[in-house]
């Protein structure tokens, strides 16, 4: 079973890599597309932000649906949907068509992370959950790192439209393997009753309940009554404000502010994303290791959450970096620290869900808030570039400020890391006994 569960989380990592390749394609292609289609920086900022409007909003229903129908079906539908939208982006002819396709892409990709969180919570005990989360989350960095050289090469060789067709096909191939290989532990023929019982005992959670029964115990809307849920939302917003600078505007920064060629973009430009991959694994390993050594789950998770957010604030130092190599070092440390933090962030839904049937719902709720940051980051940065005639100084200073704010929130707003009390689910918000 040990090998089997790592296969399942590996499939999630692969899906996430494809997710971010498709998501980052537009950012890499933006300079070429803007020139050909006559799009301004503000236009491109709005197109990039269009994704996050639907992506953020659809986190809420997708998390609920994933808990009701299971990760196998929810993730397959999500991947097929976003892959089709990616391929169709090749047909974009201007601002409105690209904005519409980008918004449709966001609908499909919204199903990814809630489903990933549910897979990790289903297949892993809490002593391994943070590392498992770091594995599937590292797919975002793998995808971001691959997107820059892959898409740059395809654009240089074939054209920007062809880059969307090629990357869109990847998801359809993945969906075939997913439907063939994935099952929940209860339904997998290779999992014995003894192995299943041992897994559930190691998860230290209440026994699995029917989704309908769980909704009677803790209605979906009542999840918003917990202070910890709001803290998770706010902290993740701060982290993703910075993450989405890397995903959306970072290639443009390297080209416009640092004078990178397309070839340099495809090599040096991928270094921060590459550095973040082992950093994310380290964050997951560290969080789980501290817990196994006897630390409370709260202390283990918060040490990594707060420490990672504080370190990521070095992104602001890139403003005064004397050369591109020092700047890239600042970006690499910042991106790596954010990945270190994210491993514990994605362990939290499984850690705090009041029942196993609420894991994806809480994952969707916190990811909804985090991706509102995508709207803010893309639009704000595009606007500031227009106002300051291309200066990235203010966006980078604001990003550093959000890193510090996120550390404060995870330390003081998020409460004990433990299953939220079912008995208080219907209590008024922020009552002391319901604050957790």
Measured in whole angstroms, the distance separating CA 215 from the mean position of its chain's CA atoms is: 26
CA distance readout (Å), 138 to 44, 211, 294, 346: 27, 29, 26, 11
The whole-number average pLDDT for the span 290-310 is 97
> Considering the chain, what is the average pLDDT of its residues?
88
> Angle CA(327)–CA(329)–CA(330) in degrees, nearest 5?
65
The whole-number average pLDDT for the span 189-207 is 78
Structural domains of the chain sorted by starting position, each given as residue range(s) with its CATH number in brackets:
2-434 (1.20.1250.20)
| Separation CA 318–CA 341 (nearest Å) | 20
The whole-number average pLDDT for the span 6-27 is 92
pLDDT score at 1 = 60
pLDDT score at 92 = 83
pLDDT score at 86 = 93
Indicate whether 19 pLDDT > 70: yes
Higher local confidence (pLDDT), 84 or 37: 84
User: Which phi and psi angles does 250 have, rounded to 5°?
Assistant: -60, -45
pLDDT score at 375 = 80
The whole-number average pLDDT for the span 89-102 is 89
Higher local confidence (pLDDT), 255 or 434: 255
Contacts of 271 (CB under 8 A, 6+ apart): 328, 331, 332
pLDDT score at 433 = 40
Q: Which of 407, 418, 292, 284 is nearest to 351 (CA)?
A: 418
Residue with tokens 């416009």: 256
Percent of the chain with pLDDT over 70: 93
The whole-number average pLDDT for the span 147-158 is 86
Half-sphere exposure of 63 (CA within 13 A, CB side): 28
Four-CA torsion 138, 140, 141, 142, nearest 10 degrees: 80
Indicate whether 334 pLDDT > 80: yes
Q: State the CB neighbour count (10 A cutoff) for residue 389.
A: 7
| Separation CA 232–CA 146 (nearest Å) | 29
Higher local confidence (pLDDT), 306 or 264: 306
Q: Of 49-53, 114-118, 304-308, 364-368, where does mean pLDDT reach its minimum?
A: 49-53
Using 50, 70 and 90 to split pLDDT, how confident is the model at 215?
A: low
Indicate whether 16 pLDDT > 90: yes
Q: Of 157-161, 235-239, 244-248, 300-304, where does mean pLDDT reach its minimum?
A: 244-248
Using 50, 70 and 90 to split pLDDT, how confident is the model at 44?
A: confident
The whole-number average pLDDT for the span 125-134 is 92
346-405 confidence digits (pLDDT tens): 999 999 998 888 899 999 999 999 988 878 888 899 889 989 988 999 999 999 999 999
The whole-number average pLDDT for the span 319-327 is 91
Q: Which of 384, 305, 294, 293 is nearest to 345 (CA)?
A: 305
Q: Of 22-31, 86-95, 162-171, where does mean pLDDT reach its minimum?
A: 22-31
410-426 confidence digits (pLDDT tens): 999 999 999 998 754 44
**pTM of this structure:** 0.81
Residue with tokens 């689910």: 425
Using 50, 70 and 90 to split pLDDT, how confident is the model at 142?
A: confident
């Amino acid at each position: 079973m040990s090998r089997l569960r790592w296969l399942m989380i590996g499939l999630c990592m692969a899906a996430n890599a494809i997710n971010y390749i498709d998501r980052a394609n537009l950012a890499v292609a933006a300079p070429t597309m803007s020139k050909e289609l006559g799009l301004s920086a503000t236009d491109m900022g709005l197109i990039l932000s269009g994704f996050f409007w639907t992506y953020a909003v659809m986190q809420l229903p997708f998390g609920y649906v994933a808990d009701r129908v299971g990760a196998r079906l929810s993730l397959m539908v999500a991947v097929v949907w976003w892959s089709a939208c990616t391929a169709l982006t090749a047909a974009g002819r201007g601002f409105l068509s690209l904005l519409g396709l980008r918004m449709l892409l966001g609908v499909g990709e919204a199903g990814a992370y809630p489903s990933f969180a549910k897979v990790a919570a289903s297949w892993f005990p809490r002593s391994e959950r943070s590392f498992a989360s770091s594995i599937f989350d590292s797919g975002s960095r793998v995808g971001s790192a691959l997107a820059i050289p892959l898409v740059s090469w395809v654009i240089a060789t074939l054209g920007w439209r062809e880059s969307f067709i090629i990357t869109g096909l990847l998801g359809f191939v993945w969906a075939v393997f997913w439907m063939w290989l994935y099952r929940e532990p209860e339904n997998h023929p290779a999992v014995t009753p003894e192995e299943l019982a041992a897994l559930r005992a190691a998860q230290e959670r209440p026994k699995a309940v029917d989704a309908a029964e769980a909704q009677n115990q803790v209605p979906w809307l009542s999840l918003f009554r917990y202070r910890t849920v709001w803290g998770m939302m706010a902290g993740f917003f701060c982290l993703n404000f910075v993450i989405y600078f890397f995903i959306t505007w970072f290639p443009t920064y390297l080209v416009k502010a640092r004078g990178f060629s397309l070839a340099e973009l495809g090599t040096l430009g991928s270094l921060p994303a590459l550095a973040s991959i082992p950093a994310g694994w380290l964050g997951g390993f560290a969080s789980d290791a501290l817990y196994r050594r006897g630390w409370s789950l709260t202390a283990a998770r918060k040490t990594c959450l707060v420490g990672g957010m504080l370190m990521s604030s070095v992104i602001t130092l890139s403003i005064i970096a004397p050369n591109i190599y020092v700047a890239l070092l600042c970006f690499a440390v910042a991106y790596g620290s954010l990945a270190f933090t994210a491993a514990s962030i994605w362990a939290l839904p499984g850690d705090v869900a009041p029942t196993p049937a609420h894991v994806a719902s809480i994952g969707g709720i916190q990811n909804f808030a985090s991706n509102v940051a995508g709207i803010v980051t893309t639009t704000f940065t595009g606007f500031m570039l227009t106002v300051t005639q291309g200066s990235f100084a203010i966006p980078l200073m604001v990003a550093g400020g959000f890193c510090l704010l996120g550390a404060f929130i995870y330390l003081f707003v998020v409460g004990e890391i433990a299953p939220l009390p079912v008995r208080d689910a219907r209590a008024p918000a922020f009552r002391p006994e319901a604050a957790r």
